[in-house]
Each structure stands twice: as C-alpha cells, then as structure tokens.
C-alpha cells in the first residue's frame, strides 16, 4: 500500500451523511460516495488518490483520512499501520449519536477501549507531532473497525474521530460552552486577552463563560436572564435587551468580535448583524453558531456566507464540530479596517457615540415580549 489511497473517509455527525455527500458533490466531485455507516462516510477517489495530508474543507466533515476500509482482525489493522508508516494511534468509537441510550454508549465505549488496549503497544504513546502519520481506527460493537490514516499537523483533528481534548466543568449554564471552546480551538480565531465580544443571544451564559475563560470581555445581550455566576465574572456586562432593541449608539467602538447563538434562523442573524455592523468599526470577525433548522437553510449556506463577506469577512470557515447539534460553528475573520457594505443601516453620528465603554448604559429591560 502506498501512502495515498484510492479511498477517503470522513467522520460526521450521525444523521448528517446526506448533507456531507451533497456538499462533497460540489466541493470535490471527484470523490464518489461509497460504503457508509452512521457518522462515517467513505469516498472513492476517481481522479487521483486521496493523500493522508488531504482534508477538503467540508462543513459537515469533522475529520478526513485516507481509507483502508474495514479491517476484520487485529493483525489486519497492525499490518495497515505498518504499510502506511503510522507511528501514532487515534482509536475511538464511531459517534453513536447524542440520543443513543446509555446501554449503547457503554457498549461503544467498551468496544473502543478493547481495541485501543490491543493496538496501543504497536504505536508511540502520547499525542502526535506535526508530520507524524496517525492511524485512525473507528470501532462499533459487532462491526470490524474501519481504518484510515492521516499526516498530523496543527490544522488536523486532535483526537480520535475529530473530537477535542478538554474537561467539561460540571457547573455549566449551558452546552454552548463546549461549542465555543471547540469553535475557538478549531478556528484558531485570534481572540486576544481583553478583546471585547458582543454576544447576541447570550443567556443562560455558557458561551459567555467560554469567551471570558479565553481572556475576552463580553457584552452579553439577551432578553432572558444570564446565570448569576456568569454575569458576575470579571469582564461581563449584561445587556438585558432584545437584539432588535439594541441602539447603535450604545455599542462601544472597540467591539472586536460579534458572536451569536440566538437560536434564530440564519436569515434573522444576518439581518441583525447587517443592522449593527456600521457601529462596529473595529470588528475583527464573526463567531457564529448557526442553527440548521431544515435542508433549505443548509442549501442556502453559500448565500449566507456571501452576505458575511459583504459585511467585511475575508473568508468564511464553517464546521459542524462534535459539540454541535443541529447547528454549525462559523468563524469569519475581518481584515482590520475592512469597509462593510451594509445594504440599509446608517452609521451613528459621532456625537451619538458614548465616549467610553458604556455598554451597560441601556437600562435592563424585563425579559419576555416578542423577540426581535
């Protein structure tokens, strides 16, 4: 076996295989879908072999590897590793899905542990370094493992199956903490200490907490209450308002990042951003969790991304990460001083701007009422 393969494999969220294949049909029409399992799709490389350094930038693929397909025995897995020069092992369960019953989760974890224990002595312990060849082994109860390999680098997945390595605190106000931690880790967004994040749809505060723990200050906008422990974190200013009620002159000009996890359709997110953007002259990027409520939203994503570019984004990177459910993380950087081209909104007059950071100026409003 050479280092490349006639086949590729990608891991995705169980249930999103169709979306991944539809995306690849446009992004890499030379990759034809083949054998698949929930959360795992293989492709035939019809034009040139798929290299272990290849990783098409698909939204719905958590990770890529050159594929050896199913390997029935331990010897077959070890032989594959030797053939491709793999020195490190990523062995883990094929994602059983968030709604899998505890018994299934237990069986999956047990099977992955069993294979890892048998395989580990054949590999170098510890995380791979840049340039190391890693064997990707996907296990599932009563199935032979599916095996692939990739060349490690900072842009590649850091754990088996594209998962991330972090401890989940027990006292989280919401799972959005995980989504933001993974999104920042995956995107390498250059969030600097003290950067101000305008976060739309912040309650109960998982995302706010993750941004603050990453060193940022946060203007947390929501009409619903923010968890008191999060609201009391240094650098957090709560703006108890509906997004539609935010006035442009309230926004401090040093906002660096616009984050949104309001659980509203991407179209509404875009409208809100288009209205606010003129008051955010020093924005360095968008960090968005976009809800994929139906297939139409998925088909519309290229147009959504195009509108972010019209708002100054120089690129739009999107990925459905392991912590995501029916949503994706979007990182769209903005070049310093990029001119936005909003369709309608007006820049507030200089006199209307607060001189200093006065984000807490709007009086907290009672939660409730219609949104937007």
Ligand X SMILES: C[S@@+](CC[C@H](N)C(=O)[O-])C[C@H]1O[C@@H](n2cnc3c(N)ncnc32)[C@H](O)[C@@H]1O
d(CA 250, CA 149) in angstroms, rounded, equals 51
C-beta of 42 vs 223, nearer to ligand X = 223
What lies within 8 Å, CB to CB, of 23 at 6+ separation is 58, 59, 60
Q: How far apart are CA 236 and CA 220, in angstroms?
A: 7
- d(C-alpha 344, C-alpha 341), whole Å: 9
Q: Which is nearer to ligand X, 92 or 201 (CB)?
A: 201
Min CB(270)–ligand X separation in Å: 13
Residue 40 burial by Cβ neighbours in a 10 Å radius (0-12, 13-18, 19+): buried
Q: Given the rule CB under 6 A, which residues bind ligand X?
A: 173-174, 176, 201-207, 222-224, 242-244, 261-264, 371-372
Cβ proximity to ligand X, 1 vs 367, nearer residue: 367
Shortest separation between residue 282's beta carbon and ligand X, angstroms: 23
Q: Are 249 and 352 in contact (CB under 8 A)?
A: yes
Provide the minimum distance between the beta carbon of 163 and ligand X in the complex, in angstroms, as a whole number.
Answer: 20
Helix (H, G, I), strand (E, B) or coil at 58: coil
Task: Identify the CA nearest to 269 among candidates 290, 299, 248, 242.
Answer: 290
The residue (of 347 and 371) whose beta carbon lies closer to ligand X is 371
CB of residue 49 vs ligand X: minimum separation in angstroms? 42
* Comparison of 137 and 264: residue with beta carbon closer to ligand X: 264
CB of 221 to ligand X, least distance (A): 6
CB of 266 to ligand X, least distance (A): 13
Find the shortest distance in angstroms from Cβ 174 to ligand X.
Answer: 3
Gyration radius from the chain CA atoms: 22
β 217-221/236-239 pair status: parallel
Which of 39/207 has CB closer to ligand X?
Answer: 207
* Residue 353 DSSP class: S
Structure-block tokens of residue 4: 């490349």
- Encoded tokens for 199: 């976060």
Which of 12, 264 has the CB closer to ligand X?
264
Residue 226, both tokens: 């923010």
Q: Could you tell me where the beta strands, DSSP code E, fall in the chain?
A: 7-11, 31-37, 40-45, 63-70, 88-93, 133-140, 143-151, 196-200, 217-221, 236-239, 255-260, 285-291, 317-319, 327-333
Q: Which is nearer to ligand X, 56 or 263 (CB)?
A: 263
């Amino acid at each position: 076996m050479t280092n490349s393969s006639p086949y590729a494999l990608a891991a995705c969220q169980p249930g999103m295989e169709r979306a991944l294949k539809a995306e690849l049909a446009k992004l890499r029409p030379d990759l034809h879908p083949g054998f698949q399992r929930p959360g795992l799709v293989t492709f035939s490389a019809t034009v040139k072999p798929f290299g272990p350094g290849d990783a098409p930038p698909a939204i719905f693929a958590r990770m890529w590897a050159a594929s050896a397909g199913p390997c029935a025995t331990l010897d077959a897995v070890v032989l594959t590793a030797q053939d491709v020069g793999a020195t490190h092992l990523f062995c883990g369960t094929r994602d059983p899905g968030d709604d899998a019953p505890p018994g299934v989760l237990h069986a999956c974890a047990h099977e992955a542990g069993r294979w890892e224990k048998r395989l580990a002595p054949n590999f170098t312990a510890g995380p791979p370094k840049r340039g190391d060849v890693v064997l990707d082994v996907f296990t599932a109860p009563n199935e032979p493992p599916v095996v692939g390999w990739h060349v490690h680098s900072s842009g590649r997945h850091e754990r088996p199956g594209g998962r991330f390595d972090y401890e989940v605190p027990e006292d989280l106000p919401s799972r959005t903490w995980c989504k933001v931690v993974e999104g920042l880790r995956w995107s390498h967004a250059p969030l600097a200490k003290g950067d101000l994040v305008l976060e739309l749809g912040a309650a109960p505060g998982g995302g706010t907490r993750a941004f603050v723990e990453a060193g940022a200050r946060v203007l947390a906008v929501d009409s619903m209450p923010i968890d008191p422990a999060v609201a009391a974190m240094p650098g957090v200013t709560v703006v108890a308002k509906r997004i539609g009620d935010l006035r442009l002159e309230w926004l401090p000009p040093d906002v660096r990042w616009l984050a949104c996890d309001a659980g509203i359709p991407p179209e509404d997110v875009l409208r809100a951003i288009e209205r606010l953007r003129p008051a955010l002259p020093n924005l360095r990027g968008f960090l968005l969790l976009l809800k994929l409520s139906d297939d139409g939203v998925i088909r519309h994503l290229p147009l959504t991304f195009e509108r972010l570019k019209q708002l100054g984004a120089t690129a739009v990177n999107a990925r459905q990460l392991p912590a995501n459910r029916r949503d994706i993380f979007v990182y769209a950087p903005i070049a310093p001083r990029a001119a936005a081209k909003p369709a309608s909104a007006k820049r507030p007059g200089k006199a209307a701007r607060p001189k200093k950071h006065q984000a807490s100026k709007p009086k907290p409003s009672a939660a409730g009422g219609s949104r937007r």
